[in-house]
Amino acid sequence: MKKTALLTGLAFASLSACAQTDPYITAAYSGMKFQVPGSPVIVGSIGANHDILLIKYSDTVGKRYISFGTENTLETGGCGWSDFFEATLSEKEAHSCDQASVESFKSVFFQGADAGIWKAADRAYYYFLPDQGSSFVFFQSNNGNLIKLESDFLDSDGFRRMLGDM
C-alpha cells in the first residue's frame, strides 16, 4: 500500500514537472499577453514617455533581443494607421496618405524585407522581415495604441508564435 501511494505520488510529481517545461514564458505589455522564448538574460522596462519593454537573450550589447514599444507618434501622412500600412504595402501610387511619409517609412522598414499582413483574431499585424538586421511588426493594441515589436533573431514563425497565431 505504501509503495503504491509513493509511486502514485512520484508519477503525479513527474507529470507536474514535465508540464512546466514549456520553452516559452508570458510577457505582458500594453494590456496584452505575448508568448516569448524562455530563459532571457535580462528583462527591462522604461516607462513614462518611452514605454518600452526589452527582453534580452544575450550578454552582447545590441544582440538577441525582443523589444515592445508604443509608436503613437509615427508620421502617417494624415491617415489612420491601417490606411498608412496598407499604403506602404501597396504597389499603387494612389492613396490618401502623404506620399513623402509613405516613402520615408518604406526606405527605413520596407527595403529588402519580406513584408505583408497577418490577420488573426480581428487584428491586423503588419510585418517587415529583412534577411539581415532587425525585423518589425506593427499593430494596434486593445487600448488603441500603435505597438511596434522589434527583434534581431525572431523569424516569421517566431513572431507569429509570440503573437499567439500558431
Query: Structure pTM?
Result: 0.82
Quote the number of domains for the chain: 1
Residue 48 lies in a domain: yes
Residue 19 is predicted with a pLDDT of 47
Which of 12-16, 89-93, 134-138 has the least mean pLDDT?
A: 12-16
> How distant, in Å, are the alpha carbons of 87, 133, 135 from that of 83?
6, 26, 21
Residue 57 lies in a domain: yes
Residue 92 lies in a domain: no
Which of 88-97, 115-124, 136-145, 147-156 has the least mean pLDDT?
A: 88-97
Instruction: For residue 137, give its domain range.
Output: 26-70+112-162
CA–CA distance, 36 with 51 (Å, rounded to integer): 18
Residue 4 lies in a domain: no
Alpha-carbon dihedral sign for residues 162, 15, 43, 45:
positive
Mind listing the pLDDT tens digit for each residue in 144-161? 899 999 999 999 999 999
Which of 3-7, 38-42, 94-98, 152-156 has the least mean pLDDT?
A: 3-7
The alpha carbon of 81 is separated from its chain's Cα centroid by a whole number of angstroms, namely: 17
How big is the CA angle at 107 (ends 102 and 108), to the nearest 5 degrees? 105
Residue 130 lies in a domain: yes
Mind listing the pLDDT tens digit for each residue in 97-115? 888 999 899 999 888 889 9
First to last CA, the chain: 45
Cell of 113: 524585407
Residue 128 lies in a domain: yes
Mind listing the pLDDT tens digit for each residue in 51-77? 899 999 999 998 999 999 999 888 988
